[in-house]
Structure 1
Amino acid sequence: MSDAQGRSQASSHRSAQHEGSGIHFQQVTLIGYGAIGRTLFARMAGHPTVRITHVVLSESHVADAQAALGTAATVCTEVPPETSLLLECAGHAAIGSHVLPALERGIECAVLSIGALSEDGLPEKLAEAAQRGGTRVHLLAGAIGGIDAIASARLAGLDSVTYTGRKPPEGWRGTPAEQVADLGTITEPTVILEATAREAAHLYPKNANVAATVSLAGLGLDATRVRLIADPTVTENIHEVDVRGAFGEMRITMRGKPLPDNPKTSALTVLSALRFLHNRTSSVTI
């Protein structure tokens, strides 16, 4: 038996050891306990076959989080060895500090901070780490829909993929948009960036996840075009995707509502992770 096979079987055993009364029980370690992590934990409470048993945080946040969670989960600074599934919702830095080492150890991982993959070489590092560990890494769709259709259409060949992100002017405060336009006075939709998905992710890292997800499902970071717009006529964050190829044409428009705890985060991001977790033990998945 190879080392990779051994690690993979050990990972499966870590999940199976929690079975009881014939019911498969999937344990999950969560990286991060911000707005997304807190909402995930609350929504998964009482799930019959999936439980978040550990939460990984930096040392400075452990005590407060443990006090908030009580005995519902253990808060720690490193991914525990008994982890069978790791779900990241902590931001880009967690990919290098926790996800890559976990994959090397044979732990299956799911990633929400897809924008981190705009970093040169990081997608390849994730794939290589998963291969060495004999496991898999799942890139979750997050705040955008149609990813399954884009990835399917890619198999027949794509001609173009364009992502347009539209926000109210105030939604671009604290970004390079402030050097492009006077956000306080514009009266009509104003394009603040036209670039590749990779360039957009570097300049607007906090807005990179959707563009990166679309590009990784389709033509890649360097062939996907991105337009970012400050629009005083809207009050929501709007995602628009235009895809053309051998399959035909597809246009997707999404007006996502934010998380109550964090207006900068789409509620669909949490729902995407919830769907992934529910599917882990469901008899029928879609």
Structure 2
Amino acid sequence: MKIGLIGNGAIATYVRNALEQRPHQIDAVLMRPTRVAENPGLYVGSVQDLPDDLDLVIDCAGHAALAAHGPAVLRRGIDMITVSLGALAEQNVLQSLEAAANEGGAKLHLASGAIGALDCLQAARVGQLEQVTYVGRKPPIGWQGSPAEQKIDLGSLKSGAQIHFEGTAREAALAYPKNANVAAAVALAGVGFDKTHVRLIADADISSNIHEIEATGDFGSFRFQISGQSLPDNPRSSALAAMSVLSKLDNIAGTVTL
């Protein structure tokens, strides 16, 4: 497949390096126009400059980039993969992406990100899901640069845990655009942004990012927990989130999929 990439951060770098071992090629990287001069053969500054024969565009650049570039990519008839699921909490962004995908005959594929068990939630919602709760627990450093800094003193939290957010998945995704994509993934797989309960915690006694889902419904109940490592280049970026992009790509390209 011929692939375009949006972004040049920790997740994008991981994806680029991994793609070197796969039978795909990156034909273009969409960057800020000021960066295009660094590699004019590969970097482009607008969606209009992307090659016409791309099979897929992968967005690894965050909520703002998906909102800014996603509709134009989809309108051109190019499928996308994104990990910026929290952007879909903005109703106007979701509607714009849906309208563009319909116009262009393209699909927006949502990578599962840093969490698992979403297939269970998707199956369970066929019946009646009564309650879904997501709890995100990270070391204090993992919340730096987020609204958690205004709620608690992250620097002085040397032991124990403190809750710095409790509310709906929509509120979490909008308030924590760099930290709450998992909350959005859980919401989209289950009962939606406004019915999914979210709790975000800074925990000085852990060294990894811990994500939990609890759900009850007609199917029964389940509790899922994963302890994930962050990418070395960015403590806010999950290694599994980067891996989920490649997994989604393999799923799209494969002939037998799960």
Fold conserved between structures, TM > 0.5: yes
Partner of residue 59, structure 1:
33
SS in 2 for 1:206: coil
User: Deviation string for 1:160-208 (max 9, x for gaps)?
Assistant: 1100011123332333323333334444222111101111122222112
User: Deviation string for 1:8-53 (max 9, x for gaps)?
Assistant: xxxxxxxxxxxxxxxxxx11111112211121111111423x2222
Q: Verify: 1:183 aligned to 2:151, yes or no.
A: no
SS in 2 for 1:211: helix
Q: Verify: 1:124 aligned to 2:72, yes or no.
A: no
Within 5 Å, give how 1:28-43 maps onto structure 2.
28-43=3-18
SS in 1 for 2:102: helix
Partner of residue 177, structure 2:
205
Based on CA coordinates, which of the two structures has the bigger radius of gyration?
Answer: 1
Within 5 Å, give how 1:1-286 maps onto structure 2.
26-48=1-23, 50-64=24-38, 66=39, 74-79=42-47, 80=50, 81-186=52-157, 187-286=159-258
Taking the aligned partners of 2:234 and 2:69, their CA distance within structure 1 comes to 24
Q: Which runs of 5+ in 1 are unaligned?
A: 1-25, 68-72
State the one-letter code of the partner of 2:14. T
Q: 1:168 to 1:28 in 2, by over 3 A?
A: same
Structure 1 stretch 197-206 or stretch 224-233: which is displaced more? 197-206
State the one-letter code of the partner of 1:136. K
Identical-pair percentage: 45
SS in 2 for 1:96: helix
Length-normalised TM-score, structure 2: 0.92
SS in 1 for 2:127: coil
- After superposing on structure 2, the runs of 4+ consecutive aligned residues of structure 1 that deviate more than 4 Å are none
User: Deviation string for 1:202-245 (max 9, x for gaps)?
Assistant: 22221120001110111111110000112122121111111111
SS in 2 for 1:110: strand
State the one-letter code of the partner of 2:150. Q
Provide the aligned C-alpha RMSD in A. 1.8
Taking the aligned partners of 2:139 and 2:85, their CA distance within structure 1 comes to 23
Q: 1:178 to 1:152 in 2, by over 3 A?
A: same
Following TM superposition, by how much is the alpha carbon of 1:84 offset from its aligned partner in structure 2, in angstroms? 2.2
Partner of residue 18, structure 1:
none
Taking the aligned partners of 2:177 and 2:165, their CA distance within structure 1 comes to 13
Taking the aligned partners of 2:76 and 2:155, their CA distance within structure 1 comes to 50
State the one-letter code of the partner of 1:78. S
State the one-letter code of the partner of 1:74. L
Taking the aligned partners of 2:110 and 2:89, their CA distance within structure 1 comes to 13
Taking the aligned partners of 1:258 and 1:184, their CA distance within structure 2 comes to 19
State the one-letter code of the partner of 2:94. P
Q: 1:155 to 1:45 in 2, by over 3 A?
A: same
Taking the aligned partners of 1:182 and 1:43, their CA distance within structure 2 comes to 37
CA contact (8 A) 2:179 2:236 kept: no
Following TM superposition, by how much is the alpha carbon of 1:281 offset from its aligned partner in structure 2, in angstroms? 2.8
Length-normalised TM-score, structure 1: 0.83
Taking the aligned partners of 2:149 and 2:73, their CA distance within structure 1 comes to 39
Taking the aligned partners of 1:181 and 1:175, their CA distance within structure 2 comes to 11
Taking the aligned partners of 2:163 and 2:93, their CA distance within structure 1 comes to 29
Number of residue pairs matched by the alignment: 254
SS in 2 for 1:202: helix
